[in-house]
Amino acid sequence: MSELVRFLREKVWLLGNTRWYARVDSVRGELVEVERLGYEQLDARARAVGALLADRTAPGAHVMLMYPSGLEFFAVFLGCLYAGRVAVPAPLPDTDRRALRRAEGIIRDAGIGLILSDASRRPALSEWLAGAEPERQVECVATDKDVPPAPDDWSPVSQDLSATAYIQYTSGSTSEPRGVVISHRNLLHNLLSIRERLVPDEVLDELRHDPAPTGAGWLPHYHDMGLVGMLLSPLASYGNLVFCSPVAFIAHPELWLRMISRYRAFYTFAPNFGYDWLLRSLKGTQLTDLDPELDLDCLRYALSGGEPVRADVLGAVARRLAPVGFRTDIWAPGYGLAEATLLVTGTRCGQGPTVGRFDRDALEAGQALPAPDGVELVASGRPSGVDVRIVDPVTSHPVKDGQVGEIWVRGDSVALGYLGNPRATAEHFAATTADGEGPYLRTGDLGFFQEDELYVTGRAKDLIIVNGRNIHPQDIERVGETADPATGPSAAFALPDSSGREHIVLVQEIRPRQLDGRSAATLAGLIRERVARDLRLAVRVVIVGPMSVPRTTSGKIQRSRAREELRASRLGALHSDLVASDSCIEPRQDTVRRDA
Amino acid sequence: MKRDEILAELKAMLAEFGDIAPEQVDEQTSFVADLGLDSLVLVRMTVVAEERFGVRIPDEVAWELHTVGSVVTYVEDTLVGRIGAGGE
């Protein structure tokens, strides 16, 4: 077995079933535990699946995992590691309408011949496969029924640390899935970094002894943060985990608090939107009405990562939950991405968050100048086991502390590259600084260092993130451009309103001769409906004349310039869904003609 | 459950989970294009609607229910179908 598999199974041998994973759900407003496996039971399930895979697939085969949230997924994922088969986790269509279309792309991209699922999903998946991939033989097998235990003499396959462990598909646009190839070495290194950099020794000692503290979460297992941070970390760190499905959390946000309280959870984790959603859904609810015994005093670590961490959300959540024992010094902001397995920088347990104020104009000019009345930024902590540099994205010169540049990362957590895509791999994974150091991973994110802590200030890429959904602007633009004969090129981007919440704006060019007497407002309504229908997104449409969306000299749409011109009211809109109060538009409304 | 009762319950849910005033809502209202509801509110509404109306709303169906009226019709048809089939 590989060093990674030995590292994980060591915990099984040491701790047996004294440590466990449990999943809960909300049933008529009550928290109910629906399944639980001890480490040893989990290991037995993983061995059964491992033996099955060793029997039915070739070494190194890519196996797609399509499971609902639950322990079966985790056992099967471990089984793939044990067998030396490459797991490819993918979402089921209940969390993302485009999941099946994405899955078709992944099947082609990763050369999938076998899909593993559970008995409840297998019939629908087989039916879909028959329709979607007639030219390719893809089998779908349910693992939760009729998989016999592994023979006693079956043991995990021997593998080198350089072997591929799994493929993490990230937010490539719907038409072009992008699979990050994670090796056994990458995963082992990142799990060790999480354990050693985020958890101080004295806390780790506590974790080794009964009663072991517990983590609580609800993240999807097909994302890096759900897979590595939520599911794998407890096993690597001698802990327990209680979790619910993402849908259960979104439908019953208070379930998160009940989990923490009931299981006396020591730590929890989520992207900013999760904390914000909890806050929004609690509204005026009296916390003790939810559960008179609700008590978060046990919680000592609350990680916020995976998307920009907002100071106002940290503050508001801490204030809202203070009466039930939430302390503001347990906040632990972090930064990471699938291309670096997961964690890149993090905040140590007990340290508390660092929030700085910086001059807004200087920041836009690339300088972090502390200013008492400036914009609040939350530091994402210190590098955890990797080398992190801030580099001028144009000249590739490393910049000084306090200067904004692109975040570059090097170390054993950095993935091998994108599956079957040498061009994108070379572009993102093989960067060299002007002074010849490398190779570095170019994250595409912008940030700066101050007093050894990383502040993430934005994205160099045009990716739009709304409620944890990564949305590629080109997916929205395609809908706009094909909505009507009168619609031409367009640019989609996110724009924050005065409260900081981001809205999606689509600046859409029209071909006036194709309008046939319809108003620009009518066309905007039609586009809104199409985007709502196809992507389930609410967008605000700004209609402009032909050739009004900024382009490069080669004719490529410039989204960030379109955004700046809109904010400066220089676009000459024929119609705009934006109103002055809900956007950061500068007060030169005279040039924006509203015909609605 | 009658059509107007289902509509009233949906309006109450929109007020509770989306902060939408009931008088802004009729059967033609579209959840995303008109009310601008985000995906989190929609997922929450779908799950709570299943619990309150006692019907199953499969995801592939939920994705196609764009307007308030289409939800009312789906819930009504499903409840009638169940009674016709002799209950659950």
pLDDT digits (tens, 9 = 90+) for B13-43: 999 999 899 999 999 999 988 888 888 898 8
**Number of folded domains that form chain A:** 2
- The domain that contains A152 carries what CATH number? 3.40.50.12780
CA distance B32 to A538: 6
Cβ separation A250–B60 shorter than 8 A: no
Optimal mutation site among B19, B35, B38, interface A, most CBs of chain A within 10 A: B38
DSSP SS3 for A542:
strand
Cβ separation A93–B33 shorter than 8 A: no
CA distance A554 to A445: 25
CB atoms inside a 10 Å sphere around CB A22 = 19
CA distance B49 to B54: 8
Q: Is A159 within a domain?
A: yes
The nearest CA of chain A is from the CA of B81 a distance in Å of: 23
CB A445 within 8 A of CB A213: no
Expressed as residue numbers, the domain containing A161 is: 3-270
ipTM greater than cut 0.90? no
Q: pLDDT of A415-426, one tens digit each? A: 999 999 999 999
The nearest CA of chain B is from the CA of A319 a distance in Å of: 22
Write down the residue that tokens 């934005």 correspond to.
A458
Residue A256 makes CB contacts below 8 A (sequence gap 6+) with: A216, A218, A244, A249, A268, A274, A278
Cβ separation B43–A277 shorter than 8 A: no
Segment (H or E) for A560: helix A559-567
Q: Which residues from A are below 8 Å from B17, CB to CB?
A: 281
The nearest CA of chain B is from the CA of A46 a distance in Å of: 30
Residue of B nearest to A93 (CA): B59
**What percent of chain B is predicted at pLDDT more than 70?**
93
Residues of A with a Cβ under 8 Å from any B Cβ are: 28, 93-94, 97, 247, 250-253, 273, 277, 281, 466-467, 469, 525, 528-529, 531-533, 536-538
Peptide bond into A211 cis (omega under 30): yes
Q: Which residues from B are below 8 Å from A466, CB to CB?
A: 38-39
- The domain that contains B43 carries what CATH number? 1.10.1200.10
Residue of B nearest to A100 (CA): B60
Q: Which residues face A65 on adjacent strands? A: A89, A116
What is B14-76 written as a DSSP string? HHHHH---GGG--TT-BTTTTT---HHHHHHHHHHHHHHHT----HHHHTT--BHHHHHHHHH
Number of DSSP helices (H) and strands (E) in chain A, helices first: 19, 29
Give the residue from A222, A237, A270 where a domain finishes.
A270
Q: Which residues from B are below 8 Å from A94, CB to CB?
A: 59
Cβ separation A538–B36 shorter than 8 A: yes
Expressed as residue numbers, the domain containing B46 is: 3-84
The nearest CA of chain B is from the CA of A233 a distance in Å of: 27
Residue A497 makes CB contacts below 8 A (sequence gap 6+) with: A503, A581, A582, A583, A584
Q: Is A298 within a domain?
A: no
Q: Is A470 within a domain?
A: yes
Write down the residue that tokens 């440590």 correspond to.
A19
DSSP SS3 for A268:
strand
Cβ separation A529–B33 shorter than 8 A: yes
How many angstroms separate the Cα of A462 from the Cα of each of A457, A458, A474, A491, A536? 14, 10, 9, 10, 20
The nearest CA of chain B is from the CA of A426 a distance in Å of: 35
Q: Which of A251, A466, A531 sits opposite B43 (nearest CB)?
A: A251
Tokens of A18: 């004294």
Write down the residue that tokens 């949906």 correspond to.
B10
Pairing of strands A20-27, A240-243: parallel
Q: Which residues from B are below 8 Å from A529, CB to CB?
A: 30, 33
Give the residue from A214, A248, A270 where a domain finishes.
A270
pLDDT of residue A588: 38
Residue of A nearest to B62 (CA): A94
Of A164, A218, A160, residue with least CA distance to A187: A164
The nearest CA of chain B is from the CA of A280 a distance in Å of: 9
- The domain that contains A515 carries what CATH number? 3.30.300.30
CB A225 within 8 A of CB A269: yes
Cβ separation A536–B42 shorter than 8 A: yes
CB atoms inside a 10 Å sphere around CB A511 = 13
Give the residue from A270, A290, A307 where a domain finishes.
A270
Cβ separation B48–A93 shorter than 8 A: no
Tokens of B41: 């509110």
Q: What parts of chain A have a pLDDT lower than 70?
A: 94-98, 133-135, 171-175, 207, 210, 460-461, 553-555, 580-596
Q: Which residues from B are below 8 Å from A469, CB to CB?
A: 39
Q: Which residues from A are below 8 Å from B40, CB to CB?
A: 250, 273, 277, 467
Peptide bond into A292 cis (omega under 30): no
Of B58, B84, B60, B67, residue with least CA distance to B10: B67
pTM of the model: 0.85
Long-range contacts, stretch A322-326, CB < 8 angstroms, 24+ apart: A323/A287, A323/A288, A324/A257, A324/A261, A324/A287, A324/A288, A324/A294, A324/A295, A324/A296, A324/A297, A325/A295, A325/A296, A325/A297, A325/A298, A325/A299, A326/A296, A326/A299, A326/A302
Of A575, A563, A566, residue with least CA distance to A524: A575
**Number of folded domains that form chain B:** 1
